[in-house]
Amino acid sequence: MYVCMYVCMYILCVCIYLYIHIKETKPCSLILNVQSVVKPSGLHLKLALKLQDFGKAMFKPMRQERHEETPENFFYFVDFQRHNAEIAAFHLDRVLDFRRVPPVTGRFINVTGEILYLTHNEELRSVFFTSPANNTCFFAKCLYVCKSEYAVCGHPDLLEGSMSAYLPGLSIAPRISIPNPWIRTYSFTGTEEWEVNPLYCDNVKKLYPYNSGNRLLNIIDMVIFDFLTGNMDRHHYEVFTKFGDDGFLLHLDNARGFGRPSHDEVSILAPLTQCCMIKRSTLFRLKLLAQSEYRLSDVMRASLSRDPLTPVLTEDHLQALDRRLGQVLRTQMLLFTGGSVIMDYGLIFELKRS
Ligand SMILES: Nc1ncnc2c1ncn2[C@@H]1O[C@H](COP(=O)(O)OP(=O)(O)OP(=O)(O)O)[C@@H](O)[C@H]1O
Ligand SMILES: [Mn+2]
């Protein structure tokens, strides 16, 4: 059977994109597409794989052991990308019944057999090397910081990672990327307005497209999702343009979640606490997942057990999910017992004052 794929490698500091065509038994045809991208965060080595059936997937290699915790002095924008976070986020998205994350699965790829031996792309070949431990490794070529220290290595050839299915191309399913109104500063010293102005949401509510429809409620779903995973790196969200302003938000790039199971970053919930609204369907789902028969950690453990890389999350991360879910529900209770509104798809429910 042919395993045929194009491989594009890029690091998001200052990197190049390389596309290669991989076949198991035939020589590869190569397309090289060089494009420089300037990103301060850097060091994100990824492979874009094009499969023989023209399917496309993004491979994020394992960079951190599952039990390793992000050091507390790390800023979210220099944190590792975690392959297991991508996988777990996909499962969590299904468990929450959001369905806003493209499918992700864990996989081992053979970096020698499936990339090095099959590509005729000299540029890609040149970044491969054998480590002192006799493992096959590769790095991406960058203008500044791409050195072999940042390489990923197989063991000796097998490399673990997450494989995310690509969305259809932009010509078929156009979508736009929109800055998160609760974006964080990506500098060491800056502060954003939402961090210092408790009435920030009132301003957002006046602005298109947050001034009508479900957009703000969708943002609140997104931050609940991000709070559960601990992802502080939601600088943008994407929407399909064909569904108009009420289309759901795509939750792409979840690799910076699941970094610190011992810490709950409550600032992620700022849109919930500042806007005081939540979809009824989301609230019901969260309440369901807080019940002992459907405990979030149990449902996630069962769901993740079907992934080829199981166990995807450590028990500490699973327990953190339950703890954070409880925190969202307590926050919601505090906010809404005062008679705020809970909305869902255009319906408004006034809660009785307690
Ligand atoms: N499954 C997907 N299908 C199509 N496009 C995707 C998919 N996942 C990610 N992308 C696109 O690729 C971009 C980069 O991917 P991602 O954010 O996962 O990597 P990253 O290394 O964190 O990059 P960045 O620093 O730009 O956020 C995303 O902003 C998104 O537009
Ligand atoms: Mn990203």
Pocket residue to mutate for ligand 1, from 241, 253, 254, 256, most atoms within 8 A of Cβ? 253
Q: What is the pLDDT of residue 228?
A: 98
Indicate if the pLDDT at residue 30 is higher than 50.
no
CB-ligand 1 contact for 253 (6 Å cutoff) = yes
Q: What is the pLDDT of residue 141?
A: 66
- Edge-to-edge strand ranges of the sheet holding 152-153: 128-130, 136-138, 152-153
CB 316 within 8 A of CB 91: no
pLDDT tens-place string over residues 247-294: 999 999 999 999 999 999 999 999 999 998 999 899 999 999 999 999
Distance CA 44, CA 256 (A): 11
State the distance from the centre of ligand 2 to the C-alpha of 41, rounded, in angstroms. 9
* Residues annotated within a binding site for ATP: 60, 164-167, 238, 253
Pocket residue to mutate for ligand 1, from 58, 105, 232, most atoms within 8 A of Cβ? 58
Band of pLDDT at residue 146, cut at 50, 70 and 90: low
CA torsion sign for 116, 117, 121, 126 is: positive
Q: For ligand 2, a single-atom ion, which residues have Cβ within 5 Å?
A: 253
CB-ligand 1 contact for 41 (6 Å cutoff) = yes
Band of pLDDT at residue 53, cut at 50, 70 and 90: confident
Alpha carbon nearest to ligand 1 atom 8, residue: 252
CB 89 within 8 A of CB 102: no
Indicate if the pLDDT at residue 1 is higher than 80.
no
Q: What is the pLDDT of residue 149?
A: 55
Most confident of 17-26, 55-64, 78-87, 317-326: 317-326
Task: Average the pLDDT over 120-148 and give the result.
Answer: 77
Q: Higher pLDDT residue, 344 or 273? A: 273
Q: Which two tokens stand for residue 51?
A: 């499969």
Band of pLDDT at residue 347, cut at 50, 70 and 90: very low
Q: What is the pLDDT of residue 234?
A: 97
Q: What is the pLDDT of residue 45?
A: 77
* Residues annotated within a binding site for Mn(2+): 253
Query: In the beta sheet, which residues pair with residue 47?
Result: 9, 59
Alpha carbon nearest to ligand 1 atom 10, residue: 252
**First and final C-alpha spacing in the chain:** 65
Alpha carbon nearest to ligand 1 atom 3, residue: 166
CB 146 within 8 A of CB 15: yes
233 is catalytic: yes
pLDDT tens-place string over residues 61-99: 998 999 999 988 888 888 888 999 999 999 999 999 999
Q: Which residue, chain included where needed, has tokens 């031996």?
A: 117
Indicate if the pLDDT at residue 346 is higher than 70.
no
Indicate if the pLDDT at residue 3 is higher than 60.
no
Alpha carbon nearest to ligand 1 atom 16, residue: 253
Among 94-98, 181-185, 335-339, name the one with the lowest average pLDDT: 335-339
Q: What is the pLDDT of the chain when averaged over all its residues? A: 82
State the distance from the centre of ligand 1 to the C-alpha of 164, rounded, in angstroms. 10
- Reference 33, options 54, 60, 7, 3; nearest CA is 7
- What string of H, E and C letters represents the secondary structure of 23-58? CCCCCCCEECCCCCEECCCCCCCEEEEECCCCCEEE
Q: What is the pLDDT of residue 68?
A: 94
Pocket residue to mutate for ligand 1, from 17, 177, 252, 256, most atoms within 8 A of Cβ? 252
Q: What is the pLDDT of residue 49?
A: 78
pTM above 0.95, yes or no: no
Indicate if the pLDDT at residue 41 is higher than 60.
no
Band of pLDDT at residue 236, cut at 50, 70 and 90: very high
Q: What is the pLDDT of residue 148?
A: 55
Q: What is the pLDDT of residue 107?
A: 93
> Which ligand 1 atom sits closest to the C-alpha of 233?
27
Q: What percent of the chain has pLDDT over 90?
A: 59
Q: What percent of the chain has pLDDT over 70?
A: 79
Alpha carbon nearest to ligand 1 atom 25, residue: 12
State the distance from the centre of ligand 1 to the C-alpha of 26, rounded, in angstroms. 30
Q: Higher pLDDT residue, 288 or 10? A: 288
CB 165 within 8 A of CB 102: yes
CB 309 within 8 A of CB 87: yes
Catalytic residue (choose from 93, 157, 221, 233): 233
* Residues annotated within a binding site: 60, 164-167, 238, 253
> Which ligand 1 atom sits closest to the C-alpha of 46?
21
Q: Higher pLDDT residue, 14 or 189? A: 189
Band of pLDDT at residue 246, cut at 50, 70 and 90: confident
- Reference 49, options 65, 28, 64, 66; nearest CA is 28
Burial of residue 207, with CB atoms counted within 10 A of its CB: 0-12 exposed, 13-18 middle, 19 or more buried? exposed
> Which ligand 1 atom sits closest to the C-alpha of 86?
18
